[in-house]
Amino acid sequence: MKYYGDLRSFITALDEMGDIMHVHREVDGDFEPSAITRRSYEIQSPAPLFHNVAGVAPGFRLFGAPAALSSRSDMPYARVAMSLGLAPESNGPEIIEALSAARFKPGIPPLRVKSAQAECQQNILRGDAANLDRFPIPFAHDKDGGRYANTWGTLIVKTPDGKWVNWSIARVMKVDGKRMVGLIVPSQHIGQIWTQWVARGEPMPYALVQGPAPAISCVSGIPIPAHADEADYIGTLAGEPVPVVKAISLDLDVPATAEIVIEGHVSIERDCQEGPYGEYGGYLGEGSSAQPTFHVETITHRDDPIWPMSITGRPTDESHTLWAMGLAADALTYLREAELPIKTTWIPEDSTVHWLLVVMPENWRELLPGISSEELTQRIGEVLFKTDAMVFIPKVYVVDDDFDPTNLREVVWALSTRVHPVGRRAVFDDQRVIRLPQCYDEAEYVAGKGAKVVFDTLQTKRHLHASFAQGYPEEVRQRILDNWPE
């Protein structure tokens, strides 16, 4: 296992295992980088690194698909695992266990370094020179409302009293060289902090960090409890403190090894239109909404900086790997805290974060004596639908552990044969609904309320599978394997 302290060492490691696609020919500054990245997701190719983007200074680069499925079929989650300091061959449940386990360990606070030691401040741009036009920011999708300046960067904000620092990912659209507009959802942590600045009547200081250490990007995109500092949690995953440096113009600390840091203030009003944007559900966006303006005041960057991007859409991109694993780890943590004997949790990539599988061990009835599967299903829903992260998940399936939840073919087989057409489910009405999940109607989005469901697929008796593994004597199977493929 190895922790990568900056984006460049991570890219080098991916390159050494054949998982980087170098694009040296000139690509346009509008759609071509995003279209190539989107195709790389859909055919599971190496991650594209663009060395020559039209309209920007030589040396500026774009990096797509940073935490998507690997092109290495023997280690499909390598990009996510390596981002978090885990072995590249780690499987999905192992990554989820690591994310959940770190929640129970003491945090390791970041370590502030001097500006001269911080690669992110090799170049400092102020005033008119601090302009987004100098960077390669393409359109993500054809129908988007503008160029999206943030799809995989970390937004750093803190409460007015300084007691809570939040690192998160939220989509931010470029308006012009000096302005951006970002989606601020009141229930999310950045929205809660922005609300405090609004109440105070002061613009919120922010830093938008592009290309920090991969673990920073990953943790910024997953749920951890409110008022917990992501920097401390990342230190726990890394086993060492994250080096940070004081921002040039703000009282915020930023990752010292980042590629680019944009500093400024966020308006206290929703005074600019944001969107539409093609989201993780797999559909091009429609409509826009009024959101706060992010004013650009200072920019710092490394020499020859790299701007990473996630081009969301149909599976499988970072929303369906890293973010889904983070949501699953959050669910696993809360269910185990409720003293339920959960083996693992998993969100299948192809469900576009609309399904959560809760996997029960074979002996769960012994561990929960007197509890029926119906009562267990109800209890799981009661625990999960009180959590903030589960606002994104409309459907939960409680399943046995006799199949691989990370294998979509096995998931489809198990759910098709075990979900009852009308019964064996717990329906939870009037749950929180936001517009990102795609399965509700307009009235439910307007009301912010809708139904969620937990399906009980647990077998009263384990049935043997009509499969090679379970349908034949062991000695027959071994003889066949020893002589395969004769």
Specify whether the CB–CB gap between 101 and 239 falls below 8 A: no
Question: Which residues are CB-neighbours of 178 under 8 A, at least 6 positions away?
Answer: 130, 131, 132, 295, 296
Measured distance CA(469)–CA(364) in Å, rounded: 23
Residue linked to tokens 């984006």: 7
Phi, psi for 158 (deg, rounded to 5): -145, 160
The DSSP code sequence of 128-195 is GG--GGGS----SSTT-SS-EEESS-EEEEE-TTSS-EEEE---EEEEETTEEEE---TTSHHHHHHH
For residue 405, the surrounding DSSP H or E stretch is: none
In three-state secondary structure terms, 428 is strand
C-alpha distances in angstroms, 245 versus 117, 233, 258, 431?
A: 9, 18, 10, 42
Judging by beta carbons within 10 Å of its beta carbon (0-12, 13-18, 19+), is residue 465 exposed, middle or buried?
middle
Closest CA to 391 of 327, 336, 454: 327
Specify whether the CB–CB gap between 380 and 335 falls below 8 A: yes
| Catalytic residue selected from 259, 274, 279, 349 | 279
Measured distance CA(95)–CA(374) in Å, rounded: 29
Specify whether the CB–CB gap between 373 and 208 falls below 8 A: no
Measured distance CA(373)–CA(340) in Å, rounded: 12
Measured distance CA(380)–CA(358) in Å, rounded: 9
Within 13 A of 445's CA, how many CA atoms are on the CB side? 8
Phi, psi for 83 (deg, rounded to 5): -60, -35
- Residue 445 tokens, joined: 């989005």
- One-letter amino acid at 274 equals E
Measured distance CA(315)–CA(118) in Å, rounded: 36
Tell me: cis bond preceding 316? Omega within 30 of 0 counts: yes
Measured distance CA(319)–CA(309) in Å, rounded: 12
Measured distance CA(136)–CA(148) in Å, rounded: 11
Annotated active-site residue 366? The verdict is: no
Catalytic (active-site) positions: 279
